A and B are shown apart, each in its own frame.
Chain A
């Protein structure tokens, strides 16, 4: 495997070609916040909280650190006023669906970046579902059982995570989804997982 050298926050780091910036930074001790990333699962790139600024061949742009592969001579900046503002706005936007009282990773990030989770609540009056659609629970369930018990339906703002009644019997009560939820939405697992039912969501009751 070819070894490449890149610079993260002025630190020179050597890593194998093909590892992502996030993994390389973690090994070097640089912390990049994430919401939809879990060690062992394929990176999804949905939350965009891990956005960092890279400079390559004289051009700089903002990319997601969990998906961008390391290259020779890359210069990465993980904290700066511009990146902080972007992360703060993303967390505030996530607050529209997450609501005020979230637990877990989202709360920690909100206090670190001084994000006001109710900034856009005043404009968009909707019942918070406490789910930011990061997809970790779905991907975990697919890893555990190929024909998973939960999944996404819908598109855009109507996207939800639901339980399929045909597969509810395979819920192995493995607690995987509860452990990794970043907002604390999944309060319990067990014979009746607390996900909205497909019928309810499709007919608009939820």
Chain B
């Protein structure tokens, strides 16, 4: 690596940027492979090795550049490889495809058709990323750069204009002016609470006490949401730049970054980013020659969802157990070690440099009246296109699910969408035209939260979903206050009983009593919002509850104790698959004899349903089970 020059003024930064751009040739062919967690899980490192080996073999090591880049959120279609300068995007690349890509696309400039994105419905293909319908309707302010930078190389970020916002704040703006710009932009916290960021910064700045602290909250515990992971892995410098600007505005000289331990690649990314920023003089003493000092420390979480709550996080940074404490005096006034501390989500920090460079007015024009800017949603579940969606606030749920998500997978019927993680609720079909922003969804009992969106179809039981969330919160509750700890214990038992067919009529009233107590009297937001999934499932899907309690039936055929597996003798082809795979030997029959399920032995594991290739296994609920076919019955053979 060449000797690193320490940047000691904004002119140095500009000079370095010009040098880096001059060294790069835009027309030189290069290949960029995504190496974030999602693509790594599907084998991206093997694809990378295959590229290196193939280019070596063909003697092209010096002419073609290989780059590691970050996540763009369409993880199901990974590993993703982009070939420049034509910007051709290949999806689901395997190591065996690499020689073909090298010989056809790089050398002969031709496209390998089968590796392009293919639309499931229309069959059309798309060459460039922007033409893929999933990406066409997005406005990717924060995630765009993930495709162009290597998170372990600060020069990529500088080449795209990185750290110019920092130079502008340190040398051309006073701290009060920075806070005013953030207030003008109406930036609201992206962690779920939606508190006005400018107001929080101002409160921290005016609070008494030294030293002050700024904190990045990357402890995204919401199951089903992974945008913090994607941003921190792909572009850690944007978060770092926002943090330094925030420290300057508030008057803090020490910052903390709290990352989950379950995201090892993100921890590595941010640690490398901090080290490189210090080497280049953009962090540490006398940043860029302005006289402002700032240090950053990385703290790793250790597997507790409740530690993501702001007061719990501050307690964890102090080295004690991450339990929440009463926040009647705001943490902006009394936070870590009772000093003023400003905590924001990493998406909020990453938006700050954009606002400083382009102005608060520009930001305010995007989105709705009450919520400006874009929001990253994690659209997962039973939709055709799952992944991260960054769109301006105010988009309707219907557009999100059908236009960008591509509709329900397998042509099934939509039932509900669960928003906001364990603190949010279920929204049924009649509210699909609601615009999504901080305030709209609370009117129907749910909330936007940090952006999780799980789409559910007719094969998912709403009572089972409520039970899942209550069990999740029961495990993650810290156990300090009585309403949350005991309330969740009783609710979990009630819901488990209902799902097993032991529900009683007074359960609904008991649930509502406990939910009201939890909402009013719990210590922290986990307990206060814990009852939302249960209450919304009661409000909108009351008929499913009645079926479970009175008829002992599960219409979605999910709750194990209420369903039975049955093999249709008309369709069974006696292939012996399910007989062999059944872990308890409950499938009876033999070669050329129709199979049937012995209900006494069946443990309802679902293996036979998964492996049958002829759709012969059915799930019955609440219906009488037909008697098993006579011994030795021959299968009805379908045409050859």
Are B479 and A157 in touch, CB under 8 angstroms? yes
Question: Are the C-beta atoms of B520 and A86 separated by less than 8 Å?
Answer: yes
- Indicate whether A124 reaches chain B with its CB closer than 8 angstroms: yes
B30 at the interface (CB under 8 A from A): no
Q: Given the known A-B contacts A45-B326, A93-B487, A93-B514, are A123 and B478 also in contact in the complex, defined by CB atoms under 8 Å?
A: no
Interface string of B454-475 (1 = CB under 8 A from A): 0000000000000000000011
Q: Indicate whether A46 sits within 8 Å of B480 (C-beta atoms), given known contacts A93-B486, A94-B486, A97-B486.
A: yes
A57 within 8 A of partner (CB)? no
Complex Cα distance, B485 from A157, in Å, reads 6
User: CA of A96 to CA of B486 in the docked complex: distance in angstroms?
Assistant: 7
Query: Across the interface, do A155 and B479 meet the contact criterion of CB distance under 8 Å?
Result: yes
**A20 vs B479: C-alpha distance when bound (angstroms):** 24
Judge whether A62 is part of the interface by a CB distance below 8 angstroms: yes
**Contact assessment for B479 and A154 in the assembled complex, using a CB-CB cutoff below 8 Å:** yes
Is the Cβ of B520 less than 8 Å from the Cβ of A62? Answer: yes
Q: Which residues of A contact B477 (CB under 8 A)?
A: 155-157
**Distance in Å from the Cβ of B522 to the closest Cβ of chain A?**
7
* Chain B residues near A120 (CB-CB < 8 A): 486, 490
Of the listed residues B325, B485, B514, B522, the one surrounded by the most CB atoms of chain A closer than 10 A to its CB is: B485
- The bracket for how many chain A residues form the interface is 20 to 34
CB distance from B224 to the nearest CB of A (A): 21
* Cross-interface CB contact of B482 among A85, A94, A154, A156, cutoff 8 Å: A94
> Are the C-beta atoms of A48 and B485 separated by less than 8 Å?
no
CB distance from A8 to the nearest CB of B (A): 16
Q: Is B476 an interface residue (CB 8 A)?
A: yes
A156 touches B479 (CB 8 A): yes
Taking a contact as CB atoms under 8 Å apart, the answer to whether A123 and B481 are in contact is no
* A46 near B482: Cβ-Cβ < 8 Å: yes
**Chain A neighbourhood of B517, CB < 8 A:** 85-86, 89-90, 93
Q: A48-B522, A124-B493 are in contact. Are A155 and B514 (CB under 8 A)?
A: no
Is B483 an interface position by the 8 A CB rule?
yes
The complex places the Cα of A133 from the Cα of B494 at a distance, in Å, of: 23
Given A93-B490, A124-B493, 13 further pairs, Cβ under 8 A: A51-B520, A89-B513, A89-B517, A93-B514, A93-B517, A120-B490, A123-B497, A133-B485, A156-B475, A157-B479, A157-B489, A159-B479, A159-B485
Contact among A49, A68, A156 with B485 in the assembled complex (CB-CB below 8 Å) = A156
Complex contacts, B474 vs chain A, CB 8 Å:
156-157
> In this assembly, does B521 line the interface, its C-beta being within 8 Å of a C-beta of chain A?
yes
Is residue B328 within 8 Å, beta carbon to beta carbon, of the partner chain? yes
Q: Which residues of A contact B486 (CB under 8 A)?
A: 93-94, 96-97, 120
Shortest distance between the CB of B396 and any CB in chain A (Å) = 30
Say yes or no: B478 contacts A124, CB within 8 Å: no
**B524 and chain A: residue at smallest CB distance:** A45
Chain B residue numbers with a CB within 8 Å of A22 are none
A62, A63, A123: most-surrounded residue (chain B CB, <10 A): A123
Name 16 interchain pairs, CB-CB below 8 A, sorted by A: A45-B481, A47-B481, A47-B482, A49-B482, A64-B326, A64-B523, A68-B326, A69-B328, A86-B520, A90-B483, A93-B486, A93-B487, A96-B486, A155-B304, A156-B485, A159-B485
> Using a CB-CB cutoff of 8 Å, which residues 88-104 of chain A contact chain B?
89-90, 93-94, 96-97
What is the CA–CA distance of A49 and B516 in the complex, to the nearest angstrom?
15
Give the chain A neighbours of B22 by CB distance below 8 A. none
Contact residues of A between 46 and 84, Cβ < 8 Å to B: 46-49, 51, 62-64, 67-69
B304 touches A90 (CB 8 A): no
User: Are A93 and B325 in touch, CB under 8 angstroms?
Assistant: no
B487: chain A residues within 8 A (beta carbon)? 93
Flag whether A24 is at the interface (Cβ < 8 A).
Answer: no
* Interface of chain B residues 431 through 461 with chain A (CB within 8 A): none
B490 lies within 8 A of A48 (CB): no
Determine the residue in chain A with the shortest Cβ distance to B477: A156
* Shortest Cβ distance from residue A146 to the other chain B in the assembled complex, whole angstroms: 14
On whether the beta carbons of B490 and A96 are closer than 8 Å, the reply is yes
B residues less than 8 Å from A96 (CB atoms): 486, 489-490
Contact A93–B493 (Cβ < 8 Å): no
Write the chain B residue with the least CB distance to A50: B521
Q: How far is the CB of A82 from chain B (nearest CB, A)?
A: 8
Contact of A46 among B304, B475, B493, B523 (CB under 8 A): B523
Known: A48-B523, A69-B329, A157-B474. A123 touches B494 (CB 8 A): yes
Q: Are A51 and B521 in contact (CB under 8 A)?
A: yes
User: In the bound complex, what is the Cα–Cα distance between A154 and B304 (angstroms)?
Assistant: 12
Q: Which of A46, A64, A93, A158 has the most CB of B within 10 A?
A: A93
Query: Within 8 Å CB of B490, what residues of A?
Result: 93, 96, 120, 123-124
Let me know if A137 is at the binding interface, CB within 8 A: no
Q: Is B328 a contact of A90 with CB atoms below 8 Å? A: no
**Is A132 engaged at the interface, CB distance under 8 Å to the other chain?**
yes
Give the chain A neighbours of B479 by CB distance below 8 A: 133, 154-159
By beta carbon, the residue of chain B nearest A134 is B482
Q: How close is B623's CB to chain A, nearest CB, in angstroms? A: 30
B326 touches A90 (CB 8 A): no
Asked whether A90 and B325 contact (CB < 8 A) given A96-B490, A157-B474, the answer is: no
Chain B: CB-nearest residue to A66:
B326
A107 to B487, CA, bound (A): 20
Q: How far is the CB of A53 from chain B (nearest CB, A)?
A: 9
- Please indicate which of the listed interface residues B474, B486, B514, B520 has the most CB atoms of chain A within 10 Å of its own CB: B486
> Shortest beta-carbon distance, B372 to chain A, in Å?
25
From A64, A132, A156, residue with most partner B Cβ within 10 Å: A156
Closest to A61 in B: B520
Contact of B483 among A63, A68, A93, A132 (CB under 8 A): A93
**Residue in B304, B328, B481, B516 whose beta carbon sits within 8 Å of that of A48 in the complex:** B481
A48 and B521 form a contact (CB under 8 A)? yes
Min CB–CB distance B243 → chain A (angstroms): 30
Residues of A within 8 A of B489 (CB): 96, 124, 157
Cβ of A91 to closest chain B Cβ, rounded Å: 9
Residues of B within 8 A of A133 (CB): 479-480, 482, 485
Query: Which of B494, B497, B521 is in CB contact (< 8 Å) with A90?
Result: B521
A47, A48, A69, A124, most chain B CB atoms within 10 A? A48
Question: What is the minimal beta-carbon distance from B471 to any residue of chain A, in angstroms?
Answer: 11
Cα distance, A23 to B285, chains bound together (Å): 47
On whether the beta carbons of B329 and A156 are closer than 8 Å, the reply is: no
**Which residues of chain B come closer than 8 Å to A132, judged between CB atoms?**
482
* A45/B483 in contact, CB under 8 A: no
Give bound CA distance, A56 to B329, whole Å: 15
Bound-complex Cα distance A96 to B479 (A):
14
B476 touches A46 (CB 8 A): no
**CB-CB contacts below 8 Å: A117-135 with B:** 120, 123-124, 132-133
Distance between B33 CB and nearest chain A CB, rounded to angstroms: 40
- B506-527 toward A: CB 8 Å interface, digit per residue (1/0)? 0000000110110011110000
